[in-house]
C-alpha cells in the first residue's frame, strides 16, 4: 500500500495527490505547495489498486526527521489510512537511523498526531495561511 517513491511515475502520482488535497481542497497556492526541497526529499506514495490515494514526504534535518506534506484524498479518509501513512513515515525515518521527529501540523490535526506520540512545541503560527503547530516526538533509544 505505501512505498518509497523510486520512479518518475510514482513522483507524479505523489504530486497529483498533493494537488488534489492542498491546491484544490485547501486552496494552498502552488508557489507555496511546491518548494526547493522536492528533489532532495524522500517521497512516500500510497496506492489502492494502482490508484494514488495518499502521499507524504520526509526530510532529514540534522538529527531530526521532518514529516511533511502528509495528504490523503478525501474519499479515502476515515479508514485508518492516514494513521498507517504516519506510522510508515516514522518506520522509514527509523530505518534511516532517526529517533527524533518533527512536523508542522495543522491546528485541527493536533490530537490526530498526538495519537502518534507527537507533542505541541510553542505557539500557533501561520503557514500557507493555515494555522499550524510545531509538533515533535522523540523515541527513547
Q: What is the pLDDT of residue 140?
A: 83
Beta strands in 32-118, from DSSP E residues, in sequence order? 42-48, 51-61, 64-72, 100-106
Residue carrying the nine cell digits 493555515: 130
Residue carrying the nine cell digits 502552488: 30
pLDDT tens, position by position, 27-38: 999 999 999 999
Q: Where are the domains of the chain?
A: 2-99
Rounded to 5 degrees, what are φ and ψ at 18?
Answer: -65, -35
pLDDT tens, position by position, 34-53: 999 999 999 999 999 999 99
pLDDT above 80 (res 141): no
pLDDT tens, position by position, 66-90: 999 999 999 999 999 999 999 999 9
CATH of domain 2-99: 3.40.630.30
Amino acid at each position: 500500500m505505501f512505498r518509497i517513491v523510486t520512479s518518475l511515475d510514482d513522483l507524479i502520482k505523489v504530486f497529483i495527490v498533493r494537488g488534489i488535497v492542498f491546491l484544490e481542497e485547501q486552496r494552498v497556492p502552488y508557489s507555496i505547495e511546491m518548494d526547493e526541497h522536492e528533489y532532495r526529499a524522500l517521497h512516500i506514495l500510497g496506492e489502492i489498486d494502482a490508484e494514488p490515494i495518499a502521499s507524504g514526504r520526509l526530510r532529514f534535518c540534522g538529527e531530526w526527521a521532518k514529516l511533511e506534506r502528509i495528504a490523503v484524498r478525501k474519499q479515502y479518509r476515515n479508514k485508518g489510512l492516514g494513521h498507517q501513512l504516519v506510522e510508515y513515515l516514522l518506520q522509514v525515518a527509523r530505518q534511516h537511523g532517526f529517533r527524533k521527529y518533527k512536523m508542522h501540523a495543522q491546528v485541527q490535526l493536533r490530537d490526530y498526531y498526538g495519537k502518534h506520540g507527537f507533542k505541541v512545541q510553542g505557539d500557533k503560527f501561520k503557514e500557507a495561511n493555515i494555522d499550524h503547530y510545531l509538533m515533535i516526538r522523540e523515541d527513547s533509544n
